[in-house]
Structure formats: C-alpha cells, structure tokens
A and B are shown apart, each in its own frame.
Chain A
C-alpha cells in the first residue's frame, strides 16, 4: 500500500529564514550602499601595509623638512605637522578605529546579553538588582567616566610592567573601558526580548519537560533575541567609534605615534587655520563610517522584523 504524497503548497519550496532576511536587506538600497561602502572602507584601511610597501613609506617616519606638504605623487594627500604621510596614517588609523569599534561592541554585547538574559530569565530580585545596576550605569556621565577610567595608572592595579609598557596596552585599554560602560542599551533590549520569550508556551513546556536554565537560554531564548541584538550592535559600532574619537580628542585615547582617526582629529585642533584638511579627512571618515553603520542598522532592523511592510 502506498501512502499518498501530501500536496505541495502552491508549488513553492520552503526557504531558510536567513535567505528571506537577506533578500529583504538587498531591497533596502541605503543599507546595501552602506554595506558596500563599509566593505570598501575595510579594504582601504587593511591594505595599508601593502600600500606602504608599494610606495616605500613608513607610517611613523617624520621629516621636519617636509611639514604640511601639499598632495604630490609620493604623498597623495600631503603630509602632516611633522612630515608624515597623511593617507597612510588615515589607512592605519582606520584599522585601529574600526577594530576598536568592532571589538568593543562585541565585548559590550557579551556583557549586555549576559546581564539582559539573566535579568529577563531569572526575574524577581535578580532582575531588579541587574536592572538597577544598569540604570546606575546609564545615569553616570559617560564621557567624564571614560576619561577617568582612561587615566588610571595600570601599574597601580598590579599589572606587570611588561604589560603596562607594551605598545598595545592603550588599544586594549580603550576597548575594555568602552565595553565596560557601553553595554546598557543591549542589556535592556535583550531583557525585554527575554521577558517575552520566557513566558511563551513552548518555553514553559520545555521547562516542564525538565529543561534546565542553560538549555532554555541557549536553545530557546538567545536565538529568538538575536534580531534585536544584531540591530543594536550595528548601531553601537558607530557610537563606539565616536567614543574612541572623543577620548582621543581629549588626549586619553590610543597613544601616538599609533594613528587613529580620533587622535588625528585631536592633533588637528591646533592646525585648523594652518592645515584644515588634516581635520577634514579624519572627520569625514568618522562621519562616513558612523552614518553607514546607522543605515545598515536600519536595513537590518527592517530585514529582521517579520512585521515590516517591506517584506
């Protein structure tokens, strides 16, 4: 005896939700343009060492006789106040600024997701405590707090001198302190999503069936709050890049001679009338990066929202 085949639904095959989301994102023109711009920017920044080798340039080589040179064949965007190639410093600076943006966002997400999931899943006193802690963090003035944290002497915290004096310490310091203060938005978003998911029937059924907290969180909660996490993270990257710029602008960011867009902007404060383009270039790149991440975030929000009319 054969079992009759079930009729197909209108002749269509079922699609992965991720393919669905991608096709919606593709139709969001600002997001796609922004994505292309970001890809090009990453390629631009991370090809710095290849460009340096090709042109025979050193990002930190100073030449006091070649200060403020106009654009030329050797220095396509000219030189800065101590004779360094501006284009190369923008490229290397972008590496640092973008990497800080991505890493600090990733670490901040990790903290925010942990706090939000625990608050939403455990509820009760744990939720109250975690959310009050989040509120306290939100209430603190962000920039002064970052400046204070950036000024802490690491030697006094007990770190060995080899670490304190290593050239990468200022980079990791900025990543860590930004992620320590910038997780609150994601925590609140994740908590809200967790509260909704945690009270769904299938989740309750899984709990009744003996599912423990790690299983419930890992299998049921996290995948269902991934959407707001991804969107919030995209928007956070832009904010983190601005924070790094602000810290460098205030003189407590990544230390020279390592270039970042922020410390290039900081150096250009005194040169606004002598060489204004030294401020325009990093400022423009920061602006472009932040706005493209914002548009991408908008596009992702539409793509991930099942109720969006653009689907």
Chain B
C-alpha cells in the first residue's frame, strides 16, 4: 500500500491540534531581565495618542505614564493632586459656592498648578494650557470624551501663569476632579488654524509627531510608537521624581493566550488583568502554576459587572420579574467557583471599598423558590416545555446580550441562562462585537431584554447619567447618558439630585445610601460582582498599587523591580 501524502488541510488540522494542546509552561528566559526595564503586555492598541479624544481604559492606561491629569483618585478613592499644588475644596477656600443670576447657584474652583510641573521640552505646565484645553472642549467640534469634562466650566479666568479659576454653573460633587490639559505652546497654534475635528485630528502634533517630548507632562515621555505593535517610554527628565524604571515598553498581542505564552517565555515581564490584559481566570491559573516566578497583587476594584434590564420589555417592566431574576441567579456560586471569591458578590451598585457604599440595603439571596413565586404573582406559569407563559400564551423569553470575545463573560452568560431556565425563563444568549454592544445595543437602547457588561460609579461622576431620567440616551439628547435600561423614577431623580449637592462626606454617604436602596428596590440593574484589580508582575516588584478609580500608571515613577 502506498503511503499517501497528508494533504495541506490535514496538516492544518494537525497543527491546530498541536498548538491548542501545547502547555502553558515554556522554557524560562535564558538571560536575566534588565531590572531597569519593564515590558508590559497589552491586548488593545490605542486608537490614537491624543489624551482627550476617543478616551477609553486602554488610552487612560497609556496616558497615566505620559500625560498626568490635574487630579486623580488614589487607592482610598480620594481625589488627590497630580499636577495641582493643592486639591480645591470648600474647606481650603479653593472652591466656593456662588450665587448666580436667576436664583441659581454655581461654583468657582481655583486650580493652582505645581511650579515644578513641566512638559517634556522644559516648558512649564501653565494656566494657558488649562484655558486652551477648556476652549477646545467648549467649542465642541472636537468631541473630547474624557470622563471629567472640561465643559462643566462655563468660563476660565487666568489669574497668573500657574493659577486659573473655573466657573461652574451648578454645584456638583466632582468639582475637585479635572483631567489632562494640552500643551498650548504646541497645540495652540495648530488649533487656531484647524478647527474642525477632521482637520485637527490629522494636523495635531499628537498624530504627526507623537514622540515630541513637549506633548507630554508625566513621569515618562513617548519615545517610539510602532502602530499596532509597541510603544516605548523613557523618563521625562523634567518630572520632579526620577522614575525607578528607565524604560517601559507596552507590547501588544492579539489575544490573551499569546500574552501568557510571551510572559512565560520572557518576552513580556508584566500583564494587567482585564480590562486590557488576561482574564481573571487565567490569572488564577498562573498564580497556581507560576508562583515562584511572578507576584500576583490582587486588590478590591471599583468596576461592577451587572445585568441591565430593558424596562420597555413588557415582561421586564414588571419589577416582580426583575426581582425573580435576581433571586434565580446564584451569584455566590459564580463568585466562588469562577473567581475563588476574589471578585465578590456585589451587594450594591457601589463597591464595598467605596466610601459611600451602604451595608444596609436590600439583599437578593439565591432562592429559586422565591423566584418562581414572584413569577407566578406576576402572572407567569410554567408551560408544557418548562418555559413560563402568560394568560395570553406568550412565552417568557428574555434575550441576554453581551460582548463577544470575553470568555469569562460568555461563560457567565451561559450559567445565567441555565439558572434562569430552571425557574422557567428562556434566556437566549446573543454575543455582539464590543462596538455594536456599546453603540446599537446600549447607547441606542436596541437591546430587547438584558445586557451583561460592567460599569463604574466614580466619586466625581453624578449617578444621574446611570440612574436618573435625564440619563436615558435618546435621539433628542444625542444619545448621551448611560441609563440604558430607560429607568425613570421621581424618587430616584430626587435622590440623585440630593447626592449631587451633598458636598460634605456625611451628607454624601446618607444621600448615596438612598440612591443605592432605591436602585435595589426598583432593580433597573442587577449588580452581579465587583471586579478585583489585579496584575501579574515580576517577583519582588514594588510600588504597583492595584486598586484605584484611576489608572495605577499615574504613579509609575514609584514602580521598582527587584535587582
């Protein structure tokens, strides 16, 4: 019998088999890593290098190294100065509540910049930079999407080169949080000439010469950018605290498995855990297998994984059905079995390490019997196929949409589907690309049942955008707002307004307690679990503090590897 040549297709199948069964363990790097250099693996390349356009977690991660915000939140969730000398507050007089015409009240916030804050070309960071950034945001054409909008100010007065006063036309809790500024000595002339978004984005120095040190005011400057592949950072010689690490490289891979393989082979030194890196489950596996080579700092985070309910769905418009779903899902089992309890069950919309978290809110325990009772009360009875039907004969079928490509989320969606089926709810799972999820499904509210994704309630952001009637994205308001469920409640609107105006900590805590209780009573969103903030770092690395509302890269100058 002739030996037949295995065809190319068979070779492909064989290669697939071999590659996917290859162990994670690889030969360690043959040469010792340079302790003054850190190569960090990343999944998603930045859309551009502009600090304020197309802002997302990936962009903020990079910006933390090279472009510091005026203020940021530390590990305790407190707003602290990075570029300013003293954080504005009512107590120190740098923030004032003022009366405005028409009986309204507003605020005046004084930002005093640090004298030693300099751009990478030695030019001081100045109040002109604040004024230019505000002007560019205010004129609206560029579509700045940073989280602490400069447009909250209606006017900026320059007092001296390091001091600017921002005028707000309302009282808000986020008055002390301000994001990155742009270098007026570089971007000013460009913006003067190119006003439209299309022209400005093309002509901006951030696009044409991102390695210009004058663009960056952080502990590092960007020295090399290979699109889609790698970004190299070197210390900003004008930053007051000399960074311990002399070179940082952000190295991009197409998937999490590649990140792990490269970590174990020594091509990468560190990995963040989702978002932007490997999954929490992968980190747990590595922790068991590679404890001698790496450290795995895990700290409570602030992100919340949640189910958002489409309140226009006839079934979900009944709060009893939403509460039934809450009782039907075994969140404790998800947290224990999938995350070893390191990502704990979310008891409220605010993380437990948030200063405004309330411990006295309604809890939804796993109770399938209670879930079934609530559904019966709401008029749903099991049909012949085990799925509930109402008196009109309609099935209780509620689609669950989530983001494709996130293995953990897809697993959880399937677990939820199964748990809901046991209480007679049919929940077909739909995965969509993240752009479609954030756009069509959520922002345009086209999802028909439930959505599974994460959100965060930073201290500087009003709960209005997530929970108040004004936060419902509509065509009329240009689809701004993140109240994707379409939830509208006068009691919640009043509680949100109270929380917005509560500038003192005790008043804020009491106001937020009300917001949390109403949110859990009405359940427009069902909190599932809190994300942990986690990394995989070289053994003995110090200074990387994981949990913050803001990126840990804002403090990268303190990172230090073991010699």
Contact = CB atoms under 8 A, between A and B. Distances in A.
A binds B: yes
Interface string A128-155: 0000000000000000000000010101
Interface string B250-291: 000001110000000000000000000001011001000100
Interface residues of A, number: 47
B440 A272 contact: no
Contacts of A252: 404
A256 B429 contact: yes
11 contacts: A30-B1, A65-B333, A81-B411, A165-B430, A249-B16, A269-B256, A270-B282, A276-B21, A279-B17, A286-B13, A286-B17
Q: Which of B16, B336, B338, B413 is packed against the most chain A CB atoms within 10 Å?
A: B16
A268 B20 contact: yes
Interface in B395-447: 399, 404-405, 407, 410-411, 413-415, 417-419, 428-433, 436, 440, 446
Given A151-B433, A165-B428, A255-B429, A294 B9 contact: yes
Interface stretch (A1-9, A43-51, A193-201, A234-242): A234-242
B10 A290 contact: yes
Contacts of B562: none
Contacts of A245: 16
A202 interface: no
B13 A287 contact: yes
Of residues B20, B25, B256, B448, which shows the largest number of chain A Cβ atoms within 10 Å of its Cβ?
A: B20
Interface residues of B, number: 53
Contacts of A151: 433
Contacts of A62: 414-415, 418-419
A239 B11 CA distance: 11
A238 B10 CA distance: 8
Contact of A267 (B399, B407, B436): B407
Contact of A153 (B4, B419, B440): B440
Given A151-B433, A274-B285, A269 B13 contact: no
Contact of B23 (A29, A272, A294): A272
Contacts of A65: 333, 337
A283 B256 CA distance: 20
Q: Secondary structure at chain B's binding surface: helix, strand, loop or mixed?
A: helix
B418 A242 contact: no
A30 B4 contact: yes
Contacts of A17: none
A21 to B, nearest CB: 19
Interface string A7-21: 000000000000000
Contacts of A153: 432, 436, 440
Contacts of A298: 4
B344 to A, nearest CB: 16
B22 interface: yes
A308 to B, nearest CB: 13
Contacts of B21: 272, 276, 279-280, 283
Given A153-B436, A239-B9, A273-B24, A64 B415 contact: yes
Given A60-B414, A239-B9, A287-B13, A272 B404 contact: no
Given A274-B285, A276-B21, A280-B21, A257 B414 contact: yes
Contacts of A249: 16
B257 A235 contact: no
A276 B411 contact: no
B476 to A, nearest CB: 22
Interface string A163-186: 001010000000000000000000
B429 A291 contact: no
Nearest to B254: A250
Nearest to B417: A257
A265 B12 CA distance: 14
B407 A270 contact: yes
B192 interface: no
Contacts of B12: 242, 290
Interface string A89-132: 00000000000000000000000000000000000000000000
B419 to A, nearest CB: 8
A257 B429 contact: yes
B65 to A, nearest CB: 28
A204 interface: no
A251 interface: yes
Contact of A273 (B25, B333, B405, B419): B25
B8 to A, nearest CB: 9
A242 B12 CA distance: 8
